[in-house]
Structure 1
Amino acid sequence: MSEKLLDYLSEGIVIFNDDYKIQFCNYSLLKQLKYSKDELYNEHLQKIISGPIDMIISEKEVLTGQTIDILLSGYQLPPIQVSGKLFKDKWCGQESSWLVIQEDTQTKYNTKELELIIENMPYAVWIADEDDNYKYSNANTLTIVNQLSSTHRFSTTNELLQQHPNNVYKDTLDKNIFKDDQSVLRKNIMINEERIIRNEDGNLQYQLIKIPIFNDQQLYQGYIGISQYSILKQNIDITKVIENSDPDCIVDNQMLYSQLMKSLDFSARAANLFQGNSIIILKFNNITHQVEEICRLRKDGKEFPPIHSLNMNGDTLLELLRENVEWSLADFEQRVHCNIQKDLKTPECNYIRINPIEYNSEFMGAIFTTYKSKLQYPLMECCIIDKLCQHIAIIFKSLEYALELRKESFIRKEIEAEKTAYKEALQLETLKTEFLANMSHELKTPLNIMYSMIQMLELELKDIAKNGPIDMDITKIDRYRNIAKQNVFRLLRLIDNITDISKIGAGYYEAKLINCDIVRLIEDITMSVIEYVKNKDLSITFDTEVEELIMACDPEKMERIILNLLSNAVKYTNKGDSIELNLNIIDDRLIILVKDTGVGIPKEKHAMIFERFAQVDSSFSRKQEGSGIGLALVKCLVELQQGTICVESEEGKGSTFIVSLPITQVEEKQIVHETDWIEKEEQLTYKCRIEFSDIYDL
């Protein structure tokens, strides 16, 4: 039960917890005791009861539901003799004790006065007997009953009396609802729930309170019913309202309109419960200081987006609110310079009521309700609009918070993106610097060696010119020639790699696929490097699951791939160890494994070795030479043939490079003969010399 409703009651209500700390006192009791709510909140019950408080504490469970005599103690007032009843019920979600106090005076209210009070309450109020038959109802009850019932229409409250809810709501509510309520009420438990009535006309949500009535002999006599309907069906989805907003955090009003339409119930049934012709919801814009229409609900059941929405000065609207909340439509339109009825095709209306939407005294918008007559402002309807204003205020405030969080999120993402870009730029700059320094080293080394060999040959030629060819050392000259030739191959390899990686990056490099026996191709390439492997005191093994496999590949690029992987294996494997090359078929893919037992690669470096210009050891003092282009080129050549490459390695335990290629064939008139795609022995040897040129003990 709401505080507002309890404040309407003439009985004094005090609610306290299990520690006997006061949680609430209604207006009637506060007025009688001359205290404010804040002065009594969380104070011990003893502050207002000067009588037998010990009895209430020690026998609270026994006294529940019974009438007891107590002495009330007010602010600077003598104790007042009153009677009261104890009840157990929840307050703010917690089990609490309710003490209902009635002053023991001779003042009596007659039936007419009580009916007048109930008629002016903003709720549907009725009294039912122990069998649920209506014994009394106010006008608001009649209005709601006529809308909830599908078959009955009552002209007066007298027609409703002596009716049973099963007859009134037989096509709307389940009979078991009343049976369940009866079983709860007979246990002296109050019902306070939100319920929904569903039928073919749509849903209607309402708040229901039932307070059980017992006589002095503790026999159940019936209940007091209190109800109020709501035009709120559900909360809006804030994320949908802001997900289409741009980074500047501007609310998507069209999406807000759509969400509000889903959250508000203004069906034919709800509209008939409502006296107003239309409800217009407007939002205050803090930047422009304008009040902008968000949505409009019309009595005829039609709803339309505010394409030509109301837009007025917020300061002017606040000024009108300070003067009055009820205006004739003509005066209102003149003051705000708009024409609601003509421009927006609102059904005929003569008066408008303004309800501010406020959150902690912050003006956030307004709700306009239009009426044909000034006499159509029922208290229940005003209370409903007040609740709607509170609900919309929470929605608008939630939007503000969500947009602030979104803005902060964008800023955070921008900062993170800048940090990432800076790190990437720094890393790229570092790679470039290392690459240029490394490339300078790679180019200078073979050139210096060749220059030294030329100098040595010049000395030999001077010696021949001086002493004649008699003492010429042919072996020494041949050695100088081989060393120079080897370093020419190193330069060619480096230049070829740079050229090819640049072509691939520019998109000028393509695979020339033909159908060939890839097993024979890879085996021949492997056999061609045996001499180089032996030179390093290593062994190499070639193994295959299939003896022949005709598939589409680019033989020239396959040579580059296999030779590069084998030269890496030779380069980083210690003397006396072995290298393996295995071919397998898994799920229509050829798997090529090149395995060594060398130094291995740290786990954190697995991904970077396939990046351009990256090396596991980039220092000039590293054990092996290399530009850092080879594996990046291999990856590109594999991907040109729709394949993939990865590495499995553990530092100190060797590495396994895994190449996976799809087994497919290209359309050809005939399969190309071996002599067309297998390099001659001299050409393959020439390529081997280039690829293995940076292995020095040849």
Structure 2
Amino acid sequence: MDTISDEQLLEELRTRLNQSRRSLQDISVLNHKLVEMNRRLEQSESLKSNFLSNIRNEINNPLNAIIGLAGHLASLVNDPQAEEIAGLIHAEAFSLDYQLRNIFIAAELEAGDAQPEIEQVDVVSVIVSTLDNFKAVADAKGIRLAYTLIGTDDAGRLRFPTDAEKLQVVLSNLVANAVEFSSTGSEVEVLAGLMDDELHIQVKDQGIGIAAENLERIFDRFTQLDTGSTRAHRGHGLGLSIVKALLDLLQGTIEVQSSPDVGSVFSVTLFPAAFDESAVTFAEGGNLFLFDELDEK
């Protein structure tokens, strides 16, 4: 058996020590690169979030000015033709604003920026303001908007801990769909109530309905059952996917019952979430979240 001299052993130890040092240096360089990459990713996410916020304001503010001014103009003029044109401007600007807001919300959800802000919410105010937003669209189609409440307090309010803005986005998309797919002379009704500390909301319409085989698909992003260049209904297929994503975020559920040519019922269930007692309550303020920038100026 060959023996190793002390000098050979020391040389081998030096070699392995140098290898360990080089490995540590390589690990240190790699770690530095990972830290730098993470910093750039965080910076990119921050820039993307700021961009979304800025572009949303840059687009929404002038659109809301157009909506407000068109509505005001329609109430001032006595000429039927001018009033009709002002009404068309209002309707088209409202539709564009609504669709763009959905696109921005979808982008926020994709980026992970749509975090819930839980507070004590007056659900009645959310419902009333949402229906007010769609009154002009519903009136143009001859559709009646109504709501029914169960379990209100002495002041006629339904208080529930959730995210007020996200709740209004959910309700707005459901009402928008109900109005879009309802026929002239029909009714869209919102029912809301508290049962066993849970908030239950239903949006009912008497519209074209949905076939059973399509009920699961309607919550997929960009899915539209009415497709092609000759489709009869507007939209980009984001609304119900946003509803589902926001309810998942709020740990809520949604179910749908529908029959072709009879109508649809979308049922939302929300469970109470913990909230800060000092948070501002969404109550009589009304239309605070959608189409509100004009009022803030």
Q: Which of 575, 581, 598 is residue 207 of structure 2 equivalent to?
A: 598
Q: Deviations over 1:453-511 (max 9, x none)?
A: xxxxxxxxxxxxxxxxxxxx976566545534543443333332222112202212112
Do structure 1's residue 483 and structure 2's residue 94 form an aligned pair? no
Instruction: Identify the residue that residue 237 of structure 2 maps to in structure 1.
Output: 628
CA contact 1:533–1:540 (8 Å) conserved in 2: yes
Q: Please give the alpha-carbon distance, in whole angstroms, between the structure 2 residues aligned to 1:591 and 1:489.
A: 28
CA contact 2:192–2:200 (8 Å) conserved in 1: yes
Q: Deviations over 1:401-436 (max 9, x none)?
A: xxxxxxxxxxxxxxxxxxxxxxxxxxxxxxxxxxxx
Q: Please give the alpha-carbon distance, in whole angstroms, between the structure 2 residues aligned to 1:614 and 1:554.
A: 26
Q: Which shifted more, 552-561 or 649-658?
A: 552-561
- SS of 1:593's equivalent in the other structure is strand
Point out 4+ residue stretches in structure 1 off by more than 6 angstroms: none
CA pair 478-646 structure 1, distance change in 2 beyond 3 A: same
- SS of 1:674's equivalent in the other structure is coil
Q: Which of 259, 270, 273 is residue 661 of structure 1 equivalent to?
A: 270
Q: Which shifted more, 542-551 or 474-483?
A: 474-483
- SS of 1:551's equivalent in the other structure is strand
Q: Structure 1: any 5+ residue segments left out of the alignment?
A: 1-472, 688-698
Instruction: Identify the residue that residue 228 of structure 2 maps to in structure 1.
Output: 619
Do structure 1's residue 551 and structure 2's residue 143 form an aligned pair? no
Q: Deviations over 1:253-273 (max 9, x none)?
A: xxxxxxxxxxxxxxxxxxxxx
Q: Which of 108, 117, 138 is residue 503 of structure 1 equivalent to?
A: 108
CA pair 529-490 structure 1, distance change in 2 beyond 3 A: closer
Q: Which of 250, 254, 259 is residue 641 of structure 1 equivalent to?
A: 250
Q: Look up the equivalent residue of 1:550 and give its one-letter code.
A: R
Structure (1 or 2) with the larger CA radius of gyration: 1
Q: Please give the alpha-carbon distance, in whole angstroms, between the structure 1 residues aligned to 2:171 and 2:102.
A: 15
- SS of 1:496's equivalent in the other structure is helix
Q: CA deviation at 1:563?
A: 1.8
Q: Please give the alpha-carbon distance, in whole angstroms, between the structure 2 residues aligned to 1:531 and 1:682.
A: 15
CA pair 686-540 structure 1, distance change in 2 beyond 3 A: farther
Q: Which of 278, 283, 286 is residue 678 of structure 1 equivalent to?
A: 286
CA pair 475-654 structure 1, distance change in 2 beyond 3 A: closer
Instruction: Identify the residue that residue 189 of structure 2 maps to in structure 1.
Output: 580
Q: CA deviation at 1:665?
A: 4.1
- SS of 2:224's equivalent in the other structure is coil
Q: Please give the alpha-carbon distance, in whole angstroms, between the structure 1 residues aligned to 2:93 and 2:127.
A: 26
Instruction: Identify the residue that residue 525 of structure 1 maps to in structure 2.
Output: 130
Q: CA deviation at 1:601?
A: 0.3
Q: Please give the alpha-carbon distance, in whole angstroms, between the structure 1 residues aligned to 2:290 and 2:242.
A: 24
Tell me the percent identity.
Answer: 28
Q: Please give the alpha-carbon distance, in whole angstroms, between the structure 2 residues aligned to 1:512 and 1:681.
A: 13
- SS of 2:190's equivalent in the other structure is strand
Q: What does 1:296-335 align with in structure 2 at a 5 Å threshold?
A: none
Instruction: Identify the residue that residue 298 of structure 1 maps to in structure 2.
Output: none
CA contact 1:515–1:665 (8 Å) conserved in 2: no
Instruction: Identify the residue that residue 98 of structure 1 maps to in structure 2.
Output: none
Q: Please give the alpha-carbon distance, in whole angstroms, between the structure 1 residues aligned to 2:133 and 2:107.
A: 28
CA pair 653-668 structure 1, distance change in 2 beyond 3 A: same
CA pair 511-532 structure 1, distance change in 2 beyond 3 A: same
- SS of 1:658's equivalent in the other structure is strand
CA pair 666-494 structure 1, distance change in 2 beyond 3 A: same
Q: Please give the alpha-carbon distance, in whole angstroms, between the structure 1 residues aligned to 2:193 and 2:246.
A: 20
Instruction: Identify the residue that residue 492 of structure 1 maps to in structure 2.
Output: 97
CA contact 2:198–2:270 (8 Å) conserved in 1: yes
Q: What does 1:365-444 align with in structure 2 at a 5 Å threshold?
A: none
Q: Deviations over 1:571-603 (max 9, x none)?
A: 111122222211133443211010111110011
Q: CA deviation at 1:664?
A: 3.6
CA pair 682-625 structure 1, distance change in 2 beyond 3 A: closer
Q: Deviations over 1:44-95 (max 9, x none)?
A: xxxxxxxxxxxxxxxxxxxxxxxxxxxxxxxxxxxxxxxxxxxxxxxxxxxx
TM (norm. structure 1) is 0.28
CA pair 686-625 structure 1, distance change in 2 beyond 3 A: farther
Q: Deviations over 1:299-332 (max 9, x none)?
A: xxxxxxxxxxxxxxxxxxxxxxxxxxxxxxxxxx
CA contact 2:91–2:137 (8 Å) conserved in 1: no
CA contact 1:528–1:684 (8 Å) conserved in 2: no
Q: Please give the alpha-carbon distance, in whole angstroms, between the structure 1 residues aligned to 2:85 and 2:180.
A: 23
CA contact 1:551–1:665 (8 Å) conserved in 2: no
- SS of 1:557's equivalent in the other structure is helix
CA pair 586-481 structure 1, distance change in 2 beyond 3 A: closer
Q: Deviations over 1:172-212 (max 9, x none)?
A: xxxxxxxxxxxxxxxxxxxxxxxxxxxxxxxxxxxxxxxxx
CA contact 2:130–2:287 (8 Å) conserved in 1: no
Superposed CA RMSD in Å reads: 3.0
Q: Which of 498, 503, 512 is residue 117 of structure 2 equivalent to?
A: 512
Instruction: Identify the residue that residue 23 of structure 1 maps to in structure 2.
Output: none
Q: What does 1:460-479 align with in structure 2 at a 5 Å threshold?
A: 476=81, 479=84
Q: Please give the alpha-carbon distance, in whole angstroms, between the structure 2 residues aligned to 1:499 and 1:670.
A: 25
Length, aligned pairs only: 214
Q: Please give the alpha-carbon distance, in whole angstroms, between the structure 2 residues aligned to 1:578 and 1:527.
A: 15
Q: Please give the alpha-carbon distance, in whole angstroms, between the structure 2 residues aligned to 1:482 and 1:539.
A: 18
CA contact 2:122–2:281 (8 Å) conserved in 1: no
Q: Please give the alpha-carbon distance, in whole angstroms, between the structure 1 residues aligned to 2:289 and 2:245.
A: 26
Instruction: Identify the residue that residue 563 of structure 1 maps to in structure 2.
Output: 172
- SS of 2:184's equivalent in the other structure is coil
Judging by fraction of residues, say which structure has more helix: 2
CA contact 1:497–1:630 (8 Å) conserved in 2: yes
- SS of 2:160's equivalent in the other structure is strand
CA contact 1:528–1:685 (8 Å) conserved in 2: no
CA pair 528-544 structure 1, distance change in 2 beyond 3 A: same
CA pair 628-674 structure 1, distance change in 2 beyond 3 A: same
CA pair 686-575 structure 1, distance change in 2 beyond 3 A: farther
Q: Please give the alpha-carbon distance, in whole angstroms, between the structure 1 residues aligned to 2:123 and 2:185.
A: 30
Q: Look up the equivalent residue of 2:115 and give its one-letter code.
A: E
Q: Please give the alpha-carbon distance, in whole angstroms, between the structure 2 residues aligned to 1:477 and 1:640.
A: 45
Q: What does 1:62-81 align with in structure 2 at a 5 Å threshold?
A: none
